[in-house]
Every structure is written in structure tokens, then in C-alpha cells.
Amino acid sequence: MSKYVLLLGALSIIGPWSWCGSAQAQHIRGFDVENTSTTMYDLPPVYDEKEGEVTLFTEEPFFEKIKLLRLDPPMSLRERVERLVYGIYTDVPPEYDHYGYEIRRHMAGVGNATFFHDPAFIEKQLKNIKTSEIILKYWGEVLREEAEEVERLIKEKKDASSTRTTFKYNRGVVNAFLVECQSWINNNKMALEYLQKIGPRAYRYNPKKGIISFKSKENFKEFASIYESKLRSVREIRGYLPFRMMVY
């Protein structure tokens, strides 16, 4: 096996979890959630052109399959505006996060490099990615339809300027999220499809060192480029609170 390697990382490389800031409880009709500005300390991945190494903590998160529930109907137009970013900007219990939680659950294993050598694992994760794409498509349609209806009502009722301002902001958050979530899904898909294309004989993963080694320099460079794009999209999707705790 050659020296062409990607250092995918382990806990000992990145270091321990570190927390900062304070949590603040927020009440949403029907339940209480913890809306927090705390962030997970996360060193940026390092790419060394000379050594060919990328560092990332890739522990697989755990998700249960849950029974989905419905929120009570919104009591005001303002509440409808606020609900546009539920599961995106505002964290809610998973039972009410019908689209986001299911996307996260299906994407939970895509970065588990321990099984990158297994064609069956890659095939399964590509199917999970396809499911996530479908869920995101429907989520986007629901959000756009709701945004159009809310905009119509705001114009019709000539609602308060604060509601209009919040709506414009939330709609912008929704549009940015849909683009960045699609990019995150696509980049994970490209990484796995590349490994599937070259086959497990072209590379080897060392779980103790967190290193994936390639026999071919060309394969290494191509995968490194795809993997860098994947890391950028992970950082983007972590900007949304409900997705912040995921690490792949």
C-alpha cells in the first residue's frame, strides 16, 4: 500500500468536547425546548497538500426511530411565520421535526469510515442518501407553499411591520438552508459513489490511525478533492442548530 493517505481522524486527534455559552429555555406551544447558543468546539479540518492529510472527527451519531406527532394549529400569523424555521433554525423535539429528524436519521452512518471497505455498506448508505433527497424535496415544497401562503396573508391583512420583517428573515433562512442541506447530501453521495466506483481494492482504511490509504496517486487526489467539499458542506449544515450535533 502506498503513502497516499487521508487522515479522517479520531477523538484523540481532535481532542475532547468543549462547551461554551449558556442555554436558555424557550416555550413553544405544546412543549418546552432548549434553545441554546452553545456550540461544540470543533477545530477546522486540516488539509496538507504535501502530506495529503485531512483531519476530521467522524464518530457516528445515534438516532432512534420515533413516532411522529403533530403540533397544535398556530394561534396567529406571527406563529406561522416563526414555524417556518422549526427544525432549521429553531430546535424542536424530534417527534415534531417530521422532515429534519428523518433526514438526520437516514444520514447518520454516511461518514462511518470503519465500513468504507464494505460494498454492501456503501450501497446501503447510498439508498439512505436517496431517501434523504426525497425527504428534503418534500420538505422544500411544504416550506415554499407555506411561505407563499404566509406572504399572501401578510399583504392581505397588512400585518405589523415586525411580522413582515421576521417573515423576510425566516424565508431567507429557509432558502439558504434548502440549498446547503442539498449540498451536504450531494457531497456525501459523491464521496461514497467515488469509493464504490474505484472498488475496495483501490484503498484501505486503518481504524486505529483514522487513515484511508490509496494505491493510486490519482485516486488519492480525486477523493481528497471530493472529501474537502464534503467537509465544507458539513461545516455549513452545522450552522443550523438542529443539525449542529451531527458529526460526519
Q: Is the pLDDT of residue 248 over 90?
A: no
Query: For residue range 74-106, what is the model confidence (pLDDT) as tens digits?
Result: 999 999 999 999 999 999 998 999 999 999 999
Whether 136 is covered by a domain: the verdict is yes
Among 60-64, 118-122, 164-168, 204-208, the range scoring the smallest mean pLDDT is: 60-64
Percent of the chain whose predicted confidence (pLDDT) is above 90: 45
- pLDDT score at 10: 34
- Domain housing 80: 4-243
HSE-CB for 190 with a 13 A CA cutoff:
17
Whether 248 is covered by a domain: the verdict is no
Residues near 123 by beta carbon (within 8 Å), at least 6 away in sequence? 196
Whether 147 is covered by a domain: the verdict is yes
Tell me the CA end-to-end span of the chain in Å, nearest whole number. 26
- pLDDT score at 208: 75
Among 91-95, 145-149, 167-171, the range scoring the smallest mean pLDDT is: 91-95
Q: Is the pLDDT of residue 17 over 60?
A: no
Q: Is the pLDDT of residue 210 over 80?
A: no
HSE-CB for 245 with a 13 A CA cutoff:
13
User: Is the pLDDT higher at 176 or at 28?
Assistant: 176
Number of domains in the chain: 1
Q: Can you tell me the mean pLDDT for 44-51?
A: 50
Whether 236 is covered by a domain: the verdict is yes
The pTM score is 0.78
Whether 16 is covered by a domain: the verdict is yes
